[in-house]
Chain A
């Protein structure tokens, strides 16, 4: 570029006008953010939300209290106790405490589970209003996700 063109460009603020044009174009173009509580960006299918215990089609719990997740967990989220009822074939958990405040959502528990009992839900709202609200017991582990919003923060509950 010749010096003259350069100084002319500089004098007529060409660089500034180019910048202004960019912001003006974005002003009229599509917006990226969404109005959150009304519109929710759906998490990806593999999203690692709150982990949840699942039951099989007959409503039987899948968890056999093998504690594989407890051993795999690097942050000691789990406190599991199992018991074999008289005549039952499999062990069932009687205590399944899971601590949200310790969890790092690494996914080891889900990977090691031999019966696919513990899986990630799509619940991404993790805030609680009380500290004891971050400790989940056995019955709550089956509800985790959509059904468990009372447990967590009320501020951003979905309205739809």
Chain B
């Protein structure tokens, strides 16, 4: 298994390189530079030019590119243009938040999505099916910033169950968990539609399979037939969707992070882009692309766990 992981990581290197190069080119094509952020809007053109030189932005694109790649090869993400802080520090500071939000949202998405999907499949075309399908769609229809505010209005301001500012009491584990609830529900809702849908169609297929009939012929209660026999066979497509979503969540978390005032990779990427903090942006893209690669590896390893027919060496 270790060999499998190492092999996959090595295979990911060209992907990471391509991602980096694309980002490098794209951010330099976007108009604007970080000098306004650093010098403010009253600075003269001359002092901005001077700063550009100092930041190495005056060099040719190609030599900037080689500098950057050289740095990355040494495992150095460099320093932020805007704050001059080591990028690794910024990343490490927000990474736990991103990881906990991603995992919690996956849990929310599956805990809501799977039962909905199973219910919908069992009661195909019945009212429960319609409810499950429409409810699950609501999650994808409302932009995360709208649903987020609605959640805050009800659960934080009216009921006072959860804090509005997620990162306020980060040191206290219980508070931190409490602060995680709403954001993960908000982000998880996005996934519900897909999980419900995959579960429903998988279950519809599975419930029609011969082995389900076999299970019923054993006189097993319906619950057991559904969950032990049919559902176990739907895990593969569910894992596929969840794995794909790991990547989607990292990027889409930004809205949730903004609305719930959480730090996170997504928010940092958007800020870096808005400030034209090229080095920070590049560093963050390395991290997020790498996270997606890891997510893919985890997905593949999970296949081996849920389906005995898949072999992972």
Q: Do the two chains belong together in a single complex? A: no
